[in-house]
Amino acid sequence: MPDVTLRPLTLADIAIMLKWSEDEEFCLANDWPLNQPPERWEETFLRMVNNPPVNLMRLGIQAHNLLIGYVDLGQMNPLEARAAFGIAIGNRAYWGQGYGYTAGHQMLRYGFEDRGLERVTAEAHASNTRPIALLVRLGFTLEGVLRRHETYRGEKQDVYLYGMLKEEFVSRPALRLLEND
């Protein structure tokens, strides 16, 4: 498995995230708006670094000393011990080589083992085969389908709902979460 570190995002990462926003294929895959001016993106990324939503934990995925993506536990609900998983590898040169799996697994381990989550959910558009394969590989179960729920790549698509319970997560203790961990 590739060597991956998860770490908080910093202001220095904004330039890299702006590069991702210029990549049309990445934006289409990740459902980011196309042709948004760089100033708007900069505002979005600044807010994300300086003032993220209280119920979102977003960590940068670092490989070979480079930020290549981010992974989320969002909609954190401590009362229900539940969160929503999300992930994006913004640098497409790193797709399909196990970085998503490794980073996703580290984040799930953090959620289940360190944050006491009992359930993690995830969603994917029906035509988006990469994240679907990733979620299945990570151990998520398909729990439902929202039919023709959302426009993705210009057409109404089904949205697949996935879930994983704490006892379904297979831990691999050798993986690290944060630098210096």
Ligand X SMILES: CC(C)(COP(=O)(O)OP(=O)(O)OC[C@H]1O[C@@H](n2cnc3c(N)ncnc32)[C@H](O)[C@@H]1OP(=O)(O)O)[C@@H](O)C(=O)NCCC(=O)NCCS
Task: Return residues touching ligand X (CB under 6 A).
Answer: 29-30, 69, 87-89, 95-101, 124, 128-131, 133-134, 137
Please state the closest distance from residue 113 (CB atom) to ligand X, in A: 21
Which residues in 26-39 are b (16+ Cβ under 10 Å) and which e? bbebbebeeeeeee
Choose between 34 and 79: whose C-beta lies nearer to ligand X.
34
Eight-class DSSP state of 55: T
By beta-carbon proximity to ligand X, the closer residue of 49 and 69 is 69
**Pairwise CA distance, residues 5 & 38, whole Å:** 28
Q: Could you tell me the maximum CA-CA distance found in the chain, to the nearest angstrom?
A: 45
Nearer to ligand X (CB atom), residue 14 or residue 161: 161
Min dist. Cβ of residue 119 to ligand X (A): 18
Q: In this structure, how many other beta carbons lie within 10 angstroms of the beta carbon of residue 100? A: 27
**Which residue minimizes CB distance to ligand X?**
100
Those residues with Cβ within 8 angstroms of residue 127's Cβ, 6 or more apart along the chain or in another chain: 152, 153, 157
122 DSSP β-pair partners: 162
Helix (H, G, I), strand (E, B) or coil at 132: helix
**Least distance (Å) from ligand X to the CB of residue 57?**
17
Q: Which CB, 70 or 112, lies closer to ligand X?
A: 70
The nearer residue to ligand X, 76 or 86, going by C-beta atoms, is: 86
> From the CB of 137, what's the least distance to ligand X, in Å?
4
The minimum distance between CB 77 and ligand X, in angstroms, equals 20
